[in-house]
Structure 1
Amino acid sequence: MKTALITGATSGIGLATAITLADEGFALVLCGRNTEKLAELKETLGTEVPVETLEFDVRDKEIVASQIASLKEAPFDEIDILINNAGNAHGLDSIDKGNLEDWDAMMDINVKGLLYVSNAVIPQMRDRKRGQIINIGSTAGKEVYPNGNVYCGSKHAVDAITTGMRLDLNPYGIRVGAVNPGLVETNFSEVRFKGDTERAEKVYQGYLALQAQDVADVILFAVTRPAHVNIADLTVMCTAQASSVLLKKD
């Protein structure tokens, strides 16, 4: 039985991935900030597979390190698969009107948070000379769109870090890859628009966006390949989406 650690596991892609991997028999370490949802997941998914939960904000490097170090008992003491899913977009302002707090949040969560979690997990993979890391990127890490500025910058950083990880960890037999979704219908836009549900819903009107389960299925494919196969970089979009700015609507 392999053990997967998933950040941002209480909603969206992370939640769908947790449920999907549980169905496939993976032991799970589920990380997030929502105490109640973590407890619910441990209770429900724990009837299928071993489940441990860690409550932390990926921006807090000391708590991230201590929480992951607290995993002492099998099967949670050896993380076979790390899925760096936690990430957010905040605001959609042009660069001249950007909010510094929004910028900090995106860089701290999307980039530094990914690094903090990876830093806590990679040493054990290196020592065992095996493991797999999947970073959840975005089409925003492949192209920049108007008013995407800092969010796109954070996801371009994830793209570069993923490549750097793959190069540096190659001598240890650790597989590193990225899954880069386009438009996915989750609470992503509601967070970006700071609770403006009406504005968020309009993002997904007139076409069928990717669903969280679609991305979870892609992640499952990546983590179930034979040991000699690494899905290094995969971009997935809904059929209606051709790029970040070209979208076919009914």
Structure 2
Amino acid sequence: MDNLSNYFGQNINQKRIVVTGGTTGIGKAIAKLLVSLGGRVFVFGRDENDLNGALEVIKAKSFSGEILGISADITQKDDIDLIWNKVDNAFGGIDILVNNAALPARGIIEGNYEDWKYILETNVLGYIAFAKEAVNRMKVQKSGHIINIGSMSAEVKEKTGVIYVSTKTAIRGFSTALRKEINPLGIKVSHIEPGAVTSDMQEDSKEVQKEKIVSMEMLEAEDIAMSVLFCLSQPKRCDVVSMQIRPHLQII
């Protein structure tokens, strides 16, 4: 095998990449890693302060890649159109899409119709809408890679998170079927299901999350970023179809 540094960077350098929900947590870690390897990355999120913070942190590293972004809501069609106009103008297309934007949700006893509608539009329709736009562009060049970030909830199906479980189970099925549809077009699809990861979605405080990392009960966002990199680094003949990443002591 060639030098591993070349292996992990060969499919990233100068690639045009969109990371949904790329301003915090897993998305931010993914964007940071891919920019460090020369990727040209576009991110967005709903909170402008989070966006500015992410752009500042990544740009400050003086990486060889490029980071751009705007504040936008994945549930708004006008915002979706704006994002893709920005991507087309800046990059002239897309090579890699990382579908990551998602919101937490609890059981069916809590919440109401409008809450659930917004969650579903973010966690499911958002993935579908961005995959559609990516495929429209990738099929012309007969190449591309879509990575859908799912969750272990699709397997565990915890009773305390019925709504969230529903969305992540949908993403598991969507990823499987999507690969069958677009692989003949030269487009790869990978599905990654993390276990417990430090993020703002966790109910535990930052201090407790840090303790759980030390005790191997929780992952860091960078662990998932490395999993994404592994999927993207495979040769064209090789698809990483599904991957589950869990803390060592999170027994499911």
Same fold (TM > 0.5): yes
Counterpart-to-counterpart distance in 2, 1:55 and 1:67? 9
- Are the structure 2 counterparts of residues 148 and 44 from structure 1 closer, same or farther at C-alpha, using a change threshold of 3 Å? closer
Question: Aligned residue for 1:26?
Answer: 39
Which residue identity is paired with 1:148? G
Q: What is the aligned counterpart of 1:151 among 145, 150, 164?
A: 164
Q: Is the 2:21–2:27 contact (alpha carbons within 8 Å) kept by the matching residues of 1?
A: yes
Question: Aligned residue for 2:69?
Answer: 53
| 2:216 is the counterpart of 1:225 | no
Q: What is the aligned counterpart of 1:173 among 186, 189, 203?
A: 186
Counterpart-to-counterpart distance in 2, 1:98 and 1:41? 30
Counterpart-to-counterpart distance in 1, 2:44 and 2:174? 21
| Count of aligned pairs between the two proteins | 233
Structure 2 residue runs without a partner (length 5+): 1-13
| 2:225 is the counterpart of 1:238 | no
Larger helix proportion of the pair: 2
Give the C-alpha shift of residue 152 in structure 1: 0.3
Give the C-alpha shift of residue 150 in structure 1: 1.2
SS at match of 1:134: strand
Question: Aligned residue for 1:118?
Answer: 131
Note the alpha carbon deviations across 1:80-120, whole angstroms, 9 max, x for none: 10000101113x33x33443343223211100111122222
SS at match of 2:199: coil
Which 10-residue stretch deviates more, 22-31 or 151-160?
Answer: 22-31
RMSD: 2.1
- Are the structure 2 counterparts of residues 229 and 71 from structure 1 closer, same or farther at C-alpha, using a change threshold of 3 Å? same
Q: Is the 2:42–2:87 contact (alpha carbons within 8 Å) kept by the matching residues of 1?
A: no
| 2:183 is the counterpart of 1:136 | no
Counterpart-to-counterpart distance in 2, 1:184 and 1:146? 19
TM (normalized to structure 2)? 0.84
TM (normalized to structure 1)? 0.85
Structure 1 residue runs without a partner (length 5+): 191-196, 244-250
> Pairwise mapping of residues 54-93 of structure 1 onto structure 2 (< 5 A)?
54-73=70-89, 76-90=91-105, 92-93=106-107
Q: Is the 1:69–1:120 contact (alpha carbons within 8 Å) kept by the matching residues of 2?
A: no
Instruction: Give aligned-pair identity as a percent.
Output: 29
